[in-house]
Amino acid sequence: MQEQTIPERLKISPFLIYFVVTSMQIGLGAFDFQRRIARYAGYDAWISILFVGACLHIIMWMMYKIPETVNGDLVTAHTFVAGNFLGKLLSFPLIVYFLMHSLTTLRTFIEIIQGWMFPELSLFWFTFSFMLLCMYIVFGGLRTIVGIAFFSLVLPAYLLLSFGFNLPYSDFNNLLPIWDHSVKDLLKSSFHMTLAFIGFETVLFIYPFIKNPQKSKKWAHLAVLTTTILFTVFSVITFAYFSEGQLQKALWPTLTMWKIVKLSFVDRFEFIGIANWNLIILPNVCISIWIGSRLVKRIFNIKQKKGVYMFVIAHLVIINFINTREKIDLLNSIMAKIGFAFTILYIPLLFIAIQIAKRVKQK
């Protein structure tokens, strides 16, 4: 059973789960997912996105069934299956998981700033100032974080219109012939789409904080559908704009497409896009820190504020060692593999284990 009752004043409305899931999925891999998935399935890779999106709806259904069964979050689920000690032991790696998620998001974004805007930007001082902002938001509670997630989607939404500038220079015949690659290639492409999609697993931790969580199901599935459509449209526009050879040489295809945007009042539109992306990744980092610090509280029974301080210090220390492109690529690769293992493999296994444990306890 759930260890404590969440006060009603701390809970969020069901429809807000849409902004939580969408904001977590948009941000981490949106700048370069096109290049990664096209490496294996060519310009059939958009099919892989639709396949992954369909799989995520199944995973999302399981993620709601798990907390419904145990009346709590993922820590409660582990305790339900394995007992108090082993349950907390199983939950401990998730602290590292969300630390890695926030680190990967922030470090990748800083690399983009250094590569496109300010090459001499101090890694430590930018991280320090960003962490101060994250601490201020996280200390405001989950409702404040979700409010930031709402604005992180609404305010920069106009950026979608900027991709219309690429259409006159696009050739959609690049996508033909359709399904020119093997199923194996499409599956490899699907695997490398994981980094862009991970983040929706936050539902497992936020579930106890949702008012009438049953009503939030449709919003969670709508969020997955939205990101699936967005990533598919982005990939199709990108594939029509670049040749396959050009795409593999473009480190951040989304930013490269922004270079063609010319307006009377701004010459380098990608600077505006990068500045706006700061708001987009903010809830990514804040939600990861909030979940990680809550896990510290649940597992070690210490105040959540201390967990937040631990996360901030860990960011400030570790991020200084990730100082080359190779290390950033390695971090992204590790995060993608761990995210795939957790969302696509572990969650279904946990779902099955909980159903078995439920039947055993009923008998």
* pLDDT tens per residue across span 51-60: 999 999 999 9
Lowest-confidence pick of 81-85, 185-189, 270-274, 359-363: 359-363
Task: Please report how many Cα atoms fall inside a 13 Å half-sphere around the Cα of residue 44, on the Cβ side.
Answer: 15
Mean pLDDT of the chain: 91
Hey, is 260 helix, strand or coil?
coil
Q: What is the pLDDT of residues 312-324, one digit of tens each?
A: 999 999 999 998 9
Q: What is the pLDDT of residues 6-31, one digit of tens each?
A: 888 889 999 999 999 999 998 767 88
pLDDT of residue 36: 87
End-to-end CA, the chain: 18
**Of 279, 275, 281, 278, residue with least CA distance to 258:** 275
Domains of the chain: residue spans and CATH = 11-357 (1.20.1740.10)
Alpha-helix residue ranges (DSSP H) falling in the chain? 17-25, 33-41, 45-70, 74-82, 84-116, 123-138, 142-154, 159-162, 183-191, 194-197, 203-206, 217-241, 244-249, 253-258, 269-300, 304-318, 325-340, 347-362
Residue found by looking up tokens 């920069």 in the block: 156
In this predicted structure, the answer to whether residue 239 has a pLDDT above a threshold of 60 is yes
φ, ψ at 120 (rounded to 5°): -95, 10
What's the token pair of residue 323? 């100082």
Separation in Å, CA 323 to CA 124, 186, 297, 326: 11, 33, 31, 9
Q: How confident is the model at residue 106 (pLDDT cuts 50, 70, 90)?
A: very high
pLDDT of residue 267: 80
Q: Is the dihedral of CA 248, 251, 257, 259 positive or negative?
A: negative
Longest Cα separation, the chain = 72
DSSP 8-state secondary structure symbol assigned to residue 7: P
Euclidean distance between CA atoms 82 and 63, whole angstroms? 18
Instruction: Write down the pTM of the prediction.
Output: 0.93
pLDDT of residue 1: 40
Euclidean distance between CA atoms 283 and 285, whole angstroms? 5
Query: Phi-psi category of 195—alpha, beta or left, where left has phi over 0 and alpha has psi -120 to 50?
Result: alpha
In this predicted structure, the answer to whether residue 195 has a pLDDT above a threshold of 80 is no
pLDDT of residue 4: 57
In this predicted structure, the answer to whether residue 240 has a pLDDT above a threshold of 90 is yes
Euclidean distance between CA atoms 342 and 158, whole angstroms? 33
Euclidean distance between CA atoms 90 and 78, whole angstroms? 7
Q: Yes or no: say if 233 and 33 are a contact pair by the CB < 8 Å rule.
A: no
Mean pLDDT value across residues 103-109: 93
Residues contacting residue 295 through CB under 8 Å, at least 6 positions apart? 75, 91, 92, 94, 95, 98, 205, 307
Residues contacting residue 256 through CB under 8 Å, at least 6 positions apart? 250
Mean pLDDT value across residues 111-118: 90
In this predicted structure, the answer to whether residue 2 has a pLDDT above a threshold of 50 is no
Euclidean distance between CA atoms 216 and 203, whole angstroms? 10
Cα three-residue angle 240-241-245, rounded to 5 degrees: 95
Residue found by looking up tokens 């078995």 in the block: 356
Euclidean distance between CA atoms 52 and 63, whole angstroms? 16
Q: What is the pLDDT of residues 157-190, one digit of tens each?
A: 999 898 889 899 998 988 888 888 888 999 999 9
